[in-house]
Structure 1
Amino acid sequence: METMRKPFQGVLNIVRFNWHFYVFAFALVLGLFFVAQYFAPPLRTVLIGVGILATASTLISLLASFYVYDLAGLYNFTWLDQQNATNTVVNINAGFDETSTLLKAKFKQAELIVLDFYDPSKHTEISIKRARKAYPPFPGTQQVETGNLQLPDDSVDKIFVILSAHEIRDESERLTFFKALKRAIKPAGQIYIIEHLRDVPNFLAYNIGFFHFHAKSSWLKTFREAGLNLKQELKHTPFISNFILDKNGNTL
C-alpha cells in the first residue's frame, strides 16, 4: 500500500536534518541586528542590510524547497512511461530513502531491488546521518559500493537514482558508478537520474548551497564517458532535472 507523503514533509525534513545551519543563520542575524545598534550610519545601515539579506536568502531557500518537494508533484511519478513491460526495478539511494515505497506502489507487479551506497568514510555530511536515524531503510535494502552494485549484467528494466548521485563527490568514482549502471541495465532499459543542477535557478534559490550540486556539463560528460545516451531531459520545476538515459546506440 502506498504511503502518502505528509503536508510540508519535504521542507520540514530539510530543516530537521540541517537544523545546525538554521541555528547559525538565526544567531548571525540576531548578532548583526544587536551589534548594529552600537554603530552610527552608514555602518549601522550596512549591518542591518546584511541581516535582512541573510534572512531573505534563508526564507527563499525554504520556499523553493517547499515548492519543489511538497507542491510540484515530484514524487507522484506521473511522468513515468508505463507502456513497456517492467519486471525489475532498482532504486539506489545514498543513505536516505523516501521513494522506494512510492515506486513499489507504482510498479506493483515488478521486483523492486533497493540499493544503498552510503559510505560513512566518504559521505560525511551530518544531514545524511540524521536522516538515516529518522528514516529506517526500506525492507530488504542491500548495502553496496558505488563500483560494485551486485547486479547481474543486462538484468534491470529501470534504475532510479533520485537526488543521491550528487553525493558521489569524486569524479572518477562517479564515472565508475555510471559504468556499473550501464552494465546492469537491459538493452531496452532506462536509467532515471533526478538532480538539482549547479545553475542560475538553483543559485537564486539556494545561494552558495548550489555548489553542492553538479553542473549540467559535468553530468553530460559523465554520461558520455560511461557510454550512456541521454534520451531525454525533463524539468520538474526550474530547479530539478530528470535525465533519462539508455545504452548508447539502442532505440527504445
Structure 2
Amino acid sequence: MGTLRTPFRGVGNILRFNWHFYVIAAVFMITAAVFTAFLESPFRSILFFMVLSAVLAILTSLILSWYIYDWYPLYAFNWIQEDDEAVNIINIHAGLDETSIMLRKKFPKATITIMDFYDPAVHTEVSIKRARKRYPPLSGTRTIQTTSINFSTGSADKIFLILSAHEIRNNKERVLFFKELKRLLKPDGNIYIMEHLRNFENFMAYTIGFLHFHSYRAWRTTFRKAGLPVIKELNQTPFIKVFELKKNGVTG
C-alpha cells in the first residue's frame, strides 16, 4: 500500500478481492428466484424466503463492513498514545499491509520495521493473492516465520498486529509466535492486537464467516500461555476488539 485510505476502500476491497463469491451468490439467487415460478405453495414461499434472507445477509455484511472499515476511524489509531520519541516499532501483517503508512504518520520519529508472515503454501485463498497483487509489500518488508523471527532480542518498544494474527490458525503455533514477540520486546515494551472475535456480534455481521475469527477465550489463552499479561482491552465498534499486552505488566 502506497497511499492513505480513501473513502469506501474497505468495502471496495472486499468486493474486489472476493468478487467470485458475490458472482456465485448472485447466480444462485437469480436461479432460485426464477425457479420459484414453477413451485406451488408453501414451497414457493419457503424458497422466496431463503433467497430474501441470503440477499439481506450479504447486504448487511457489506453495510457493516463499510461502517467498520470506512466510516469508523478504525485506522486513525486514536486509542494509541502518541509518542514523540524515536521509538522502535514492528508492524506485522499476513500478506496485506494496510497500516504501515498510517503508523508512520502517527509516529513520525519512529523507526518502523515491517514484517510479513504470509506463506503461499498455507495462505492459499485467492482473495489474499489478489490483494497482494494490487497492494505489493512496501519496500523493506521482511518475510518472517511465525515460530522463529530473525530479529534482535529486546529491541522493540511497540509491536502491532492489526487484523492479521487470526491468520495463524494452529493454537500451538500461535502461542510460539507470541513467545517470539515477547522475546523481541524491550522490558517495558507493548504489543497491540486488533481483531474481530468469534462472537454473536460478528455472527450477525458475517454469518458463517465469523468462524474465521478466534474466540475471546482463545485469545486470552494464547496470551496467558505466551506469558504476556493483558493490561488493557478496548472495543473499536461492537465488532472489533483491541488487546494491549505488556512484557512485564499486571494482568487487566
Matched with 2:159 is 159
Tell me the secondary structure at the aligned position of residue 235 of structure 2.
Answer: strand
Instruction: Give TM-score, length-normalised by structure 1.
Output: 0.96
Structure 2 contact 84–109 (Cα < 8 Å) conserved: no
Tell me the distance in 1 between the aligned counterparts of 2:101 and 2:84.
Answer: 21
Matched with 1:203 is 203
For 1:177, give the aligned amino acid. Answer: F
Structure 1 contact 115–143 (Cα < 8 Å) conserved: yes
Tell me the distance in 2 between the aligned counterparts of 1:209 and 1:86.
Answer: 40
Tell me the secondary structure at the aligned position of residue 53 of structure 1.
Answer: helix
Tell me the secondary structure at the aligned position of residue 109 of structure 2.
Answer: coil
Structure 2 contact 85–109 (Cα < 8 Å) conserved: no
Structure 2 contact 188–248 (Cα < 8 Å) conserved: no
Tell me the secondary structure at the aligned position of residue 37 of structure 1.
Answer: helix
Matched with 1:21 is 21
Matched with 2:90 is 90
Deviations 1:181-239 (A, max 9, x none): 11111111110110000001000000000000000000000000000000111100000
Unaligned segments of structure 1, at least 5 residues: none
Question: Aligned-pair distance for 1:250?
Answer: 6.1
Matched with 2:41 is 41
Matched with 1:174 is 174
Tell me the secondary structure at the aligned position of residue 210 of structure 1.
Answer: helix
Q: Which moved more, 1:33-42 or 1:82-91?
A: 82-91
Matched with 2:122 is 122
For 1:173, give the aligned amino acid. Answer: E
Question: Aligned-pair distance for 1:87?
Answer: 1.4
Tell me the distance in 1 between the aligned counterparts of 2:51 and 2:58.
Answer: 11
Tell me the distance in 2 between the aligned counterparts of 1:205 and 1:8.
Answer: 18
Tell me the distance in 1 between the aligned counterparts of 2:129 and 2:86.
Answer: 33
Structure 1 contact 115–149 (Cα < 8 Å) conserved: no
Unaligned segments of structure 2, at least 5 residues: none
For 2:90, give the aligned amino acid. Answer: V
Tell me the distance in 1 between the aligned counterparts of 2:250 and 2:85.
Answer: 17
Count, aligned residues: 250
Relative to structure 1, the CA distance from residue 115 to residue 209 in structure 2 (aligned partners, 3 Å threshold; closer, same or farther) is same
Question: Aligned-pair distance for 1:4?
Answer: 2.9
Tell me the secondary structure at the aligned position of residue 237 of structure 1.
Answer: coil
Structure 1 contact 227–248 (Cα < 8 Å) conserved: no
